[in-house]
Amino acid sequence: MPAVDKLLLEEALQDSPQTRSLLSVFEEDAGTLTDYTNQLLQAMQRVYGAQNEMCLATQQLSKQLLAYEKQNFALGKGDEEVISTLHYFSKVVDELNVLHTELAKQLADTMVLPIIQFREKDLTEVSTLKDLFGLASNEHDLSMAKYSRLSKKKENEKVKTEVVKEVAAARRKQHLSSLQYYCALNALQYRKHVAMMEPLLGFAHGQRRKFRCTSSLETSEIQPSESFQRGWITVSWTC
Task: Share the mean pLDDT of the chain.
Answer: 85
Is 184 within a domain?
A: no
- 91 in helix, strand or coil? helix
Q: Domain tally for the chain?
A: 1
Q: Span 52-69, mean pLDDT?
A: 94
Asked whether residue 220 is domain-assigned, the answer is no
Q: Is residue 65 part of a domain?
A: yes
CATH of the domain at 206: 1.20.1270.60
Average pLDDT over residues 221-236: 43
Q: How far apart are CA 154 and CA 147, in angstroms?
A: 15
Amino acid at 113: L
Nearest by Cα to 116 from 206, 184, 5, 202: 202
156: in domain: no
In a domain, 151, yes or no: no
Identify the pLDDT of residue 152: 65
pLDDT above 60 for 54: yes
pLDDT band at 151 (very low <50, low <70, confident <90, very high): low
**DSSP summary character for residue 9:** G
Q: What is the pLDDT of residues 98-115, one digit of tens each?
A: 999 999 999 999 999 999
Tell me if 222 is assigned to some domain. Answer: no
What percent of the chain is modeled with pLDDT above 70? Answer: 85
> What domain range includes position 36?
9-69+78-130+196-215
The b-or-e profile of 180-215 (16+ CB within 10 A means b, else e) is: bbbebbbebbebbeebbebbeebbeebbeebeebee
Where is average pLDDT lowest: 3-12, 116-125, 178-187, 201-210? 3-12
Considering the domain boundaries, does residue 143 fall inside one? no
Average pLDDT over residues 127-148: 91
pTM here? 0.79
Is there a domain that residue 58 lies in?
yes
Average pLDDT (46-58) is 96
Lowest mean pLDDT segment, chosen from 11-15, 43-47, 57-61, 151-155: 151-155
Instruction: Compute the radius of gyration of the chain from its Cα atoms.
Output: 33
pLDDT on residue 239: 52
**159: how many CB neighbours lie within 10 A of its CB?**
13
